[in-house]
């Protein structure tokens, strides 16, 4: 009787995907509705209208934000993100990336997969790749965070995940600690293309990363993918909402 009741009305003992606090459970709810009251209040969805390229909320219309206006058209990369990188999202990412809580990869990846299904329905044939960590960083953290997200997304959408990029240089200072100009300078020559020879002409590739700050990392990776004749778009779990970071 209890099992039958739980299947229909949910199990009141369900836990929040992010903080493990008790939450109501209803079968079939999307990830963003499977949060406790505290996380629901603290997480901030990205407001509309948004920049038509990077997804930054705009106060007036869906035109280009200032950052995308000053980016050459050939370097622009369409990006979608799940949430604003506010205090709640920052704590989630820090718990996951720097404290090794790999459990958080699943809800983040499933949330991103749902968004991709909504926003990139026009892509009939595509593959997934990711912004890779340097091997030393993987050793320090125990996992490659963007790679984990990519594989969760790929499994959910039944789309292949391919290792197309490699990070060549190791940087002691994380990108999150750098200014915009420092990020741009530090990323030059950081990545290289390692994809095998394949018929990639005109094929879309989804580039996965955790946080979109200035977009410099995404654009640097996209340059390499375009040289290999891919058409890149990006999806990140969170993005900042400020002109300068």
Q: Are 35 and 84 contained in the same domain?
A: no
Query: What letters, b where the CB count within 10 A reaches 16 and e where it falls short, cover 127-149?
Result: bbbbbbbbeebeeebebbbbbbb
Q: Are 4 and 113 contained in the same domain?
A: no
Q: Are 55 and 6 contained in the same domain?
A: no
Three-state secondary structure call for residue 206 = strand
Q: Are 138 and 235 contained in the same domain?
A: yes
Q: Are 52 and 32 contained in the same domain?
A: no
Residue 178 contacts residue 186 (beta carbons within 8 Å): yes
In terms of Cα–Cα distance, which of 175, 104, 195 is closest to 145? Answer: 104
Q: What is the CATH number of the domain that holds 99?
A: 3.40.50.2020
Query: Which residues lie below 8 Å from residue 99, measured CB to CB, with a gap of 6+?
Result: none
Q: Are 182 and 86 contained in the same domain?
A: yes
Q: Are 149 and 56 contained in the same domain?
A: yes
d(CA 102, CA 146) in angstroms, rounded, equals 11
Three-state secondary structure call for residue 211 = strand
Q: Are 146 and 28 contained in the same domain?
A: no
Any domain includes 82: yes
Q: Scan for tokens 């594989």, then name that residue.
A: 151
CA 187 distance to own-chain centroid: 19
- Per-residue pLDDT band at 5 (split at 50, 70, 90): very low
- Per-residue pLDDT band at 28 (split at 50, 70, 90): confident
pLDDT of residue 25: 76
How many beta carbons lie within 10 A of that of residue 82, not counting itself?
21
Domain of residue 188 covers 43-239
pLDDT of residue 59: 67
pLDDT of residue 155: 97
Largest CA distance in the chain: 63
Greater confidence (199 vs 194) lies with: 194
pTM over 0.75: yes
Q: Is 189 left (phi over 0), alpha (psi -120 to 50) or beta?
A: left
Question: What is the bridge-based pairing of β-strands 165-167 and 191-193?
Answer: antiparallel
Instruction: Specify which residues 79 forms β-bridges with.
Output: 234
- Per-residue pLDDT band at 168 (split at 50, 70, 90): confident
């Amino acid at each position: 009787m209890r099992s039958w009741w739980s299947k229909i009305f949910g199990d009141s003992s369900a836990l929040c995907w992010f903080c493990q606090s008790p939450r109501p459970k209803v079968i079939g709810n999307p990830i963003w509705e499977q949060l406790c009251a505290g996380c629901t209040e603290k997480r901030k969805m990205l407001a509309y209208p948004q920049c038509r390229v990077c997804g930054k909320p705009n106060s007036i219309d869906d035109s280009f934000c200032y950052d995308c206006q000053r980016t050459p058209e050939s370097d622009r990369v369409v990006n979608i993100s799940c949430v604003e990188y506010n205090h709640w999202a920052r704590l989630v990412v820090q718990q996951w990336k720097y404290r090794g809580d790999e459990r958080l990869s699943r809800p983040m990846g499933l949330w991103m997969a749902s968004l991709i299904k909504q926003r990139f329905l026009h892509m009939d044939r595509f593959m997934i790749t990711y912004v890779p960590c340097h091997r030393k960083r993987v050793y320090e953290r125990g996992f490659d965070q963007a790679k984990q997200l990519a594989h969760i997304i790929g499994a959910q959408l039944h789309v292949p995940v391919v290792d197309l990029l490699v990070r060549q240089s190791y940087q002691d200072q994380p990108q999150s600690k750098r200014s915009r100009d420092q990020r741009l300078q530090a990323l030059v020559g950081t990545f290289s293309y390692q994809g095998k020879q394949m018929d990639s002409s005109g094929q879309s590739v989804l580039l996965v990363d955790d946080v979109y700050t200035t977009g410099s990392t995404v654009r640097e990776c996209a340059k390499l993918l375009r040289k290999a004749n891919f058409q890149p778009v990006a999806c990140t779990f969170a993005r900042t909402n400020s002109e300068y970071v």
